[in-house]
Amino acid sequence: MWDPPPIRASAPVGGGTRPGLARMEVIVDVKLHAYGDLKVLEDIKLHVRSGEIVSVIGPSGCGKSTLLGIMGGILKATDGSVQMEGQIPADCLNPLTYIFQDFALLPWRTVAQNVALPLEHHRMSSAERTARVKDALVRTKLDDFAGALPKQLSGGMRQRVGIARALVVKPAVLLMDEPLSALDAQTRDLLMEDFLDLWLRERVAGVYITHNFHECLRLADRVMVLSRRPGKLKEMIEVRIPQRERTQKSAQTELVDLGNRLWSLIRDEASSAEREVVDA
């Protein structure tokens, strides 16, 4: 059995974890995932440490979203396992919680009702439910929009609802499938900064799937680079600069170097993958 590497003291999870907060880790060992004869993932080993964000990047069709699906129990790996390690906090109702690319909001429910959805099958007083929803709405700056329907909101606001719905269950690990990719560039930047502020306070572990180097270098503690299908671990890159310092001028040279390194790792394969999609 694969032994996860120890958590290094120097791991840049930075800032200290809020007392009583989730200290959950996820250990992924996917030997193979295939759809019939089509191998999608092969030999993926990942240990998501408590409080860190691991970004997964790779060419189109390399199995990033599939990997996230397997991690969250939405997909079953052909051969492999996913394990959680650590104590689930008492107030955590859904340790592994998704934030979806397309928001996955119920259009017939208001913002508050969408956020309340994951609580409705849990036994709790109505006061506690209301308090949780209100807290999540305040944290995502949605408290003035509680009664609005999703169709009345912009894309960025809709994704805030998706984030609030994830936060309301007090997750231990956030699984984010390109959460900003459906948004325009300005909204993406604004929401990313808000999300980072939120994450620096909450410090839950996260896996962040993206195509965007800027997002992964702004948010991630480690970047997992996958190869073209079947997706294999090509390289794990550690971003040592704490997130708070990444907008500073002094950090830019290193971040640009990391960006160039990431691009060099996936450029040829991304090009081949795109041709494959067009040919298909």
Cα-to-chain-centroid distance, residue 151: 25
- Asked if 104 is part of the footprint of another protein (rule: CB under 8 A), the reply reads yes
By CB under 8 A, name the one of 41, 50, 82, 98 that touches another protein. Answer: 98
Residue 49, classed as helix, strand or coil, is: coil
Choose the binding region for another protein from 118-126, 139-147, 182-190, 257-265 (rule: CB under 8 A): 118-126
Return the SS3 of 20.
coil
Helix%, strand%, coil% for the chain, nearest 5: 40, 20, 40
Contact set for another protein, span 162-181 (CB under 8 A):
169
Minimum Å distance from CB 75 to another protein? 10
Size of the site for another protein (CB under 8 A): 21
Provide the 3-class DSSP secondary structure of residue 134: helix
Quick check: 107 binds another protein (CB under 8 A)? yes
The span of 101-109, 217-225, 228-236, 253-261 binding another protein (CB under 8 A) equals 101-109
Name which position in 151, 249, 253, 264 contacts another protein (CB under 8 A).
151
CB of 165 to another protein, least distance (A): 8
Binding segment toward another protein, per CB under 8 A, in 53-61, 91-99, 196-204, 233-241: 91-99
The CA angle 72-223-100, to the nearest 5 degrees, is: 35
Q: Is 108 in the site for another protein (CB under 8 A)?
A: yes
Task: Say whether residue 100 binds another protein (CB under 8 A).
Answer: yes
Residues between 121 and 150 with contacts to another protein, criterion CB under 8 A: 121, 149
- Selection from 73, 97, 3, 66 nearest residue 226 by Cα: 66
Map residues 32-71 to x or -, x wherever contact with another protein holds by CB under 8 A: ----------------------------------------
Residue 219 exposed, middle or buried by CB count within 10 Å (0-12, 13-18, 19+): buried
* Closer to another protein by Cβ: residue 26 or 265: 26
Cα maximum dimension of the chain: 56
CB of 162 to another protein, least distance (A): 9
DSSP secondary structure letters along 139-205: HTT-GGGTT--GGGS-HHHHHHHHHHHHHTT--SEEEEESTTTTS-HHHHHHHHHHHHHHHHHH--E
What are the structure tokens assigned to 213, written together? Answer: 């180097």
For binding to another protein (CB under 8 A), which residues are involved? Answer: 72-74, 94, 96-98, 100, 102, 104, 106-109, 117-118, 120-121, 149, 151, 169
